[in-house]
Amino acid sequence: MNVRKLALEAIEKITRKKAFCNIVVNEFLNKFELSEEDRRLFTNLVYGTIQNLITIDFYLEPYIRRKKPKSWVKNLLYISVYQIVYLDIPKYAIVNESVDIANIKDKAIGSFVNAVLRNFLRNPLRSLDGYDDIQRLSIKYSHPMWLVAYLLKDYSLEVLEKILQENSLIKNDAIRINTLKTNKETIKTKLTEANIQFSDNPLVENGLTINKSIVNHPLFTEGFITIQDISSQMVSEITNPEPNSLILDLCSAPGGKAAHLAALMNNTGTIFACDVYPHKIKLMEQTFERLGVNNVKTQLIDARNVANKVKKESFDYLIADVPCSGLGVLSHKVDLKYQITLKAIEEVEYLQEEILEKSYQLLKRGGYLIYSTCTINKDENEKQIAKFLRRHEDFTKVEERIILPFEYHTDGFYICKLRRN
């Protein structure tokens, strides 16, 4: 099985059909029998090429501007340039493989690919001299120019460059130790025995970062650990629920925070985990079963409609991990930066406000509302909460955390804990 040819087919599907990168990668890995080494190379080629698409296009553009090659040829060249610039693979092997793939369809195209790549190798990489700051950051870190300019409303040039640089890195997975079944020291011992490297993170109590996939390991399949970003784990820790509490988790899927809350309460109390999609409800229930969570009740309902079904002042804690632009998770969702639009961001801001307005009355007096997003856009975060507090003087800010991706090598996250007086 030719891994580079498979990667080309996957990238064609992502770029031409606007398919989600992670879905396409998983689809191909499940469909084709590949060795572990080939699986890693395939994943690297697809994610790496998509992640650096704007940069690669900038480097390649002088060599193809007059030819205007077909989509698949251009994508083949993108994969080739990605390997040349970013991977430690012999250059002759990259060129030969790419030419062989092109020759399968047309030997004339094979000659074109060969000429472009050999010309590319003979010259230094195209310089960024002469470009303004927005253009430079856009090209260097492969983020659309409008998005770079948009984020500059919230962050200085220096801070934004650190954010964009972090977005360009491939992060290791983070896990949460499931204290319903085990403890941190036991898991560390098991990971060491399995030759899996790990590191602690000062942000959370029971989170570790690991150096390889663990989804097929018994520690995961038997529910001793679960995959959850460190920043996401902070939401439940900041919530810090009392035992036997009644909790409403408005936008619960995929259920990581609800499962974490259950562990913090040692399966006491009741957590209502809501989502609007049936398949996500099913996935959450499977997760809860795997982790030994038995105090969560799933509810198929839109977060904006819960108040029509439940009486006011019913819950001790209200978790609003609302839909957002996802600008804090661009190192994981490498294609999102090309798909997100300003209109989509404005629409999600309105949805966040609507969820808050239609649900806050469900919280008891003295109860806590925890609002969180996986974005670094202040309009969805600090400014959204500021507007809410201006409208509702009976709420007080207890704690607010902004985690930028480069600070702890985690997802970018915003968490705010409010108390209803």
Phi, psi of 215 (to 5 degrees): -65, -20
Distances 25 to 20, 42, 183, 266, 407 between C-alpha atoms, Å? 9, 8, 33, 37, 29
Task: Give yes or no for a contact between 354 and 323, defined as CB atoms under 8 angstroms apart.
Answer: no
Beta bridge partners of 272: 248, 297
Whole-number Å distance between alpha carbons of 389 and 418: 9
- How long, in residues, is the chain? 421
The token pair at 89 is 């693979």
Whole-number Å distance between alpha carbons of 52 and 291: 37
Crossing angle of helices 71-86 and 107-122, in 10° steps, is: 30
Task: Give yes or no for a contact between 375 and 393, defined as CB atoms under 8 angstroms apart.
Answer: no
Nearest CA to 360 out of 352, 369, 351, 373 is that of: 369
Neighbouring C-alpha atoms within 13 Å toward the C-beta of 340: 26
| H-assigned helices in 336-415 | 336-339, 342-359, 382-391, 405-408
The token pair at 80 is 């080739």
Distances 261 to 152, 264, 268, 299 between C-alpha atoms, Å? 35, 5, 10, 17
Is 21 considered catalytic here?
A: no
Q: Of the residues 251, 274, 374, 416, which is catalytic?
A: 374
Task: Give yes or no for a contact between 181 and 221, defined as CB atoms under 8 angstroms apart.
Answer: no
Nearest CA to 53 out of 69, 89, 88, 77 is that of: 77
Q: Which active-site residues does the annotation give?
A: 374
